[in-house]
Amino acid sequence: MGVFRIVVPLVTVLLICCSKQHSAVLYSSGFALLGYGATNWLIPRVGNSFIKIGLFGKDMSKPGRPVIPESVGAVSATVYLLIMLLCIPFMFYKYMVTTTSGGGHRDISILEPSEVPASFFPHDKLSEYLSSILCLESTILLGIADDLFDLRWRHKFFLPAVGAIPLLIVYYVDFGATHVLVPGFMQNWLKISTIDLGWLYYFYMVSMTIFCPNSINILAGINGLEVGQSIVLSILALINDGLYLTLGHSTTWENHRFSAILVLPFLWVSLALYNWNCWPAKVFVGDTYCYFAGMVFAVVGILGHFSKTMLMLFLPQILNFLYSVPQLFGLVPCPRHRLPRFNEKDGLLYPSRANLQETPAKAFFLPILKILHYFKLIELEFHEGRVVSCTNMTLINLVLVWLGPMREDKLCQAILQLQFAVGILAIVARHAMGKVLFGHDNLWTIE
Ligand code: UD1
Ligand code: MG
């Protein structure tokens, strides 16, 4: 979608304006552009080195299945980390210089007492920022290990949660809120306005750090989709940030600036990757990128204090996961690859199928498969009255079941458009629902 090359700069400029030209957002945007240039320059130059060390994959949906570099998303991820580190002195310089006298006297202000900010150096902001980088670093390591050794599902599934520990500690110390609001119509009945979920809230946040990376990795298999969905999610997150930074209460600005500072460089390094991964792909992004991307959204949702809104933006990924559950949990056989089947004759993609003759589905699940087939949610193949195969349960295959065979780039566009439309509806619903359910929405009023 060439449209990204117009929309991404537009969103960046709008966000800079929305953030009232806040210096941190400006630095972040400047470094994001640098990251775009570096990533776009590096990818074609390092591709062959990836192939030399065995990091390559076959593009299953092209004639002759050409071999192209795999895990190239590691370049975007590395450039992102370097940018985030380079940004630190620029973002925090003013606190180190203008509010202290220098010469080692960090505690003596050269400002008038009335001008002295509440804290000389915002250690809390730096710790939030560093814990995010630490969490992303461990996630990238996990992704690289997965790309190199093809880790087993049960081994890699819980590892993102370990990487999230620094994040949760910072959340606990800095914010610590584990309360959720009770909907207005239930408040009179229950005689309470909030419920303290306690440790369950931490369980919820850990689940998010596991879900987001894995959910992007399983909505994959066609050129441009992994990175395309991440770009759409970033644009949606920035639109939400822009809304808060313009219409929102000033107490919400810090959180949404923090979100913008993390998402903007991610968006630009992803755009550079998309240039090389869009149809016809010259590189694959690899699991490193999928985990990294998912974790960026989990971190931003948690530390930006809008994890529930973030999950609403993940609705297509949530549906894809729920739809995949029968295959992920072994009720229906799950082949190593569930990406659509490429037909060399017409160059179109068709839904791929799981063979139920070799490995039958669990007997109790057969009637459910037939119901899903009846409602056109899957396509079953029958032979002499017996079910012999069913379409793989992914959103990608479902679009093909509904809309018929499609060319790979058109299919990717259809899913990205769906992601964008659902995301915009989710943002509207989030703010409309906030008003209906709780009597106010924190876009206008802070609880
Ligand atoms: C996940 C999916 C798997 C899907 C795969 C595609 C689940 C449980 N797993 O597995 O069904 O097939 O992603 O990425 O849903 N490839 C292409 N074209 C693309 C992208 C990938 O042909 O546009 C192929 C290439 O051969 C590439 C391979 O997929 O080498 C990458 O697969 P990998 O990311 O290792 O699969 P998983 O993430 O384990
Ligand atoms: Mg993958």
CB of 338 sitting under 6 A from ligand 1: yes
83 and 263 in contact (C-beta within 8 Å)?
Answer: no
CA-CA distance, 181 to 179, in Å (whole number)?
A: 7
In this predicted structure, what is the pLDDT of residue 440?
62
Whether residue 435 lies inside any domain: the answer is no
Whether residue 247 lies inside any domain: the answer is yes
CB of 339 sitting under 6 A from ligand 1: yes
Secondary structure of the chain in the HEC alphabet?
CCCHHHHHHHHHHHHHHHCCCCHHHHHHHHHHHHHHHHHHHHHHHHHHHHHHCCCEEECCCCCCCCEEECCCHHHHHHHHHHHHHHHHHHHHHHHHHCCCCCCCCCCCCCCCHHHCCCCCCCHHHHHHHHHHHHHHHHHHHHHHHHHHHCCCHHHHCCHHHHHCHHHHHHHHHHCCCCEEECCHHHHHHHCCCEEECCHHHHHHHHHHHHHHHHHHHHCCCCCCHHHHHHHHHHHHHHHHHHHHHHHCCHHHHHHHHHHHHHHHHHHHHHHHHHHHHCCCCCCCCHHHHHHHHHHHHHHHHHHCCCHHHHHHHCHHHHHHHHHHHHHHCCCCCCCCCCCCEEECCCCEEECCEEECCCCCCCHHHHHHHHHHHHCCCCCEEEECCEEEEEECCCHHHHHHHHHCCECHHHHHHHHHHHHHHHHHHHHHHHHHHHHHHHCCCCCCCCC
Ligand that comes closest to the CA of residue 219: 1
Question: How many angstroms separate the alpha carbon of residue 153 from the centre of ligand 2?
Answer: 11
Reference 227, options 12, 419, 87, 28; nearest CA is: 419
Question: How many angstroms separate the alpha carbon of residue 40 from the centre of ligand 2?
Answer: 21
Whether residue 327 lies inside any domain: the answer is no
CB of 413 sitting under 6 A from ligand 1: no
Look up residue 25 and give its two tokens.
């957002």
Whether residue 338 lies inside any domain: the answer is no
CA angle, 217 as apex, 213 and 223 as ends, to 5°? 135
* Closest C-alpha to ligand 1, atom 36: 337
Whether residue 277 lies inside any domain: the answer is yes
Question: How many angstroms separate the alpha carbon of residue 151 from the centre of ligand 1?
Answer: 14
CB of 60 sitting under 6 A from ligand 1: yes
CA-CA distance, 287 to 143, in Å (whole number)?
A: 5
In tens digits, the chain (447 residues) has pLDDT values of 678 989 999 999 988 888 876 788 999 999 999 999 999 999 999 999 999 999 999 999 999 999 999 999 999 999 999 999 999 998 887 776 655 555 556 555 555 656 655 556 778 889 999 999 999 999 999 999 999 998 887 778 888 888 899 999 988 887 777 877 777 777 777 777 788 888 899 999 999 999 999 999 999 999 999 999 999 999 999 999 999 998 888 888 889 999 999 999 999 999 999 999 999 999 999 999 999 999 999 999 999 999 999 999 999 999 999 999 999 999 999 999 999 999 999 999 999 999 999 899 999 999 999 999 999 999 999 999 899 999 999 999 999 999 999 999 999 999 999 999 999 999 999 888 776 666 666 665 443
CA-CA distance, 193 to 179, in Å (whole number)?
A: 10
Look up residue 42 and give its two tokens.
């590096």
* Closest C-alpha to ligand 1, atom 21: 221
Q: Which atom belonging to ligand 1 lies closest to the Cα atom of 394?
A: 15
Whether residue 395 lies inside any domain: the answer is no
In this predicted structure, what is the pLDDT of residue 224?
97
Whether residue 444 lies inside any domain: the answer is no
Question: How many angstroms separate the alpha carbon of residue 70 from the centre of ligand 1?
Answer: 10
CB of 57 sitting under 6 A from ligand 1: yes
Domains of the chain: total: 1
In this predicted structure, what is the pLDDT of residue 115?
60
Whether residue 73 lies inside any domain: the answer is yes
Q: Cα–Cα distances in Å, from 220 out to 40, 90, 211, 396, 397?
A: 22, 37, 15, 8, 11
Residue ranges making up the domain that contains 15: 2-95+123-313
In this predicted structure, what is the pLDDT of residue 444?
54
CB-side neighbour CA atoms (13 Å) of 247: 10
CB of 221 sitting under 6 A from ligand 1: yes
